[in-house]
Amino acid sequence: MDSSDSTNRDEAKREINPCNMHVDNEGDWYYQGNKIIREDILELFYDNLQLSPEGQFLIEWNQTRCVLDVEDTPFVISRVDRCRTADTGEGKILLSLKHLSLQETLDPTGLHVGKDNVLYCKVLSGRFPARFSRPAYYQFAEWIEEDPATGAFYVEINNKRHVIQTPVEA
C-alpha cells in the first residue's frame, strides 16, 4: 500500500468541525449570530474557501478546516457592467462580487436559472456558483432576449447567443 493512499484515507476520515459561521442568501456573513463587516476578514475567508465534492463550502486555513453554513452560495453578484476590451474591442460583461474588490468577466456558458427563478453563473475559473442579487439581476435582465422560435432566453455577447439554462419541468 502506498503511503499517500493511507494519508488520503486518514484525511477523508478526519472530522470537519463547523466554522460557527453562516452565510445568508444575500451573501452576508455571520459569526455566532453577529454580522461580519470587516472586508479584509471576509476577503481572507474567500481566499481560503473550497467547495468539497459533496457540495459543502469549507474554509481551510492554518492547517485547519471547517464547514461553512451557507443558505445558498457565499458568492453574490452585486453589480454587472457591459464594456469593451481596450485591445480587441470585444464586448464583455464584468461582474462585481459582494465583499470582494475584484471584478470578474462573466463566462456566459454557466448561466442558469435555479430554485425560485434565481439566476446563477460560475465564478473564479468556474470553481464556485454565484447568485445574482436582485439589483444585479435587474441590470442583467436588460440584456436578456427571447428567441421567438424556441422560447429560449439568451444573452448576446460579440454576436454570439448564449442560452440561459432553465430547469426542466417535471
- Report pLDDT digits (tens) over 96-136: 999 999 899 999 999 999 998 999 999 999 999 999 999 99
Domains: count for the chain: 2
Q: Is residue 168, in this structure, part of any structural domain at all?
A: no
Count Cα atoms within 13 angstroms, Cβ side, for 56. Answer: 14
| Sheet architecture: strand order including 17-23 | 34-35, 29-31, 17-23, 64-70, 57-61, 49-51
Q: Are residues 66 and 82 in the same domain?
A: no
Would you say residue 44 has pLDDT above 80?
yes
The arithmetic mean of pLDDT across residues 147-165, rounded, is 95
Q: Mark which of 27, 47, 70 sits at the end of a domain.
A: 70
What are the φ/ψ torsions at residue 121 (nearest 5 degrees)? -150, 180
Rounded to two decimals, the pTM is 0.86
pLDDT at res. 6: 47
Q: Is residue 62, in this structure, part of any structural domain at all?
A: yes
* Structural domain span for residue 118: 75-163
C-alpha span between 77 and 96 (Å, rounded):
6
Would you say residue 170 has pLDDT above 50?
no
**45-72 pLDDT tens trace:** 999 999 999 999 999 988 899 999 999 9
Q: Is residue 169, in this structure, part of any structural domain at all?
A: no
pLDDT at res. 11: 53
Q: Are residues 145 and 103 in the same domain?
A: yes
In this predicted structure, which of 85-94, 112-121, 142-151 has the lowest mean pLDDT?
A: 85-94
Q: Are residues 58 and 94 in the same domain?
A: no
Q: Is residue 170, in this structure, part of any structural domain at all?
A: no
Diameter over CA atoms, the chain:
60
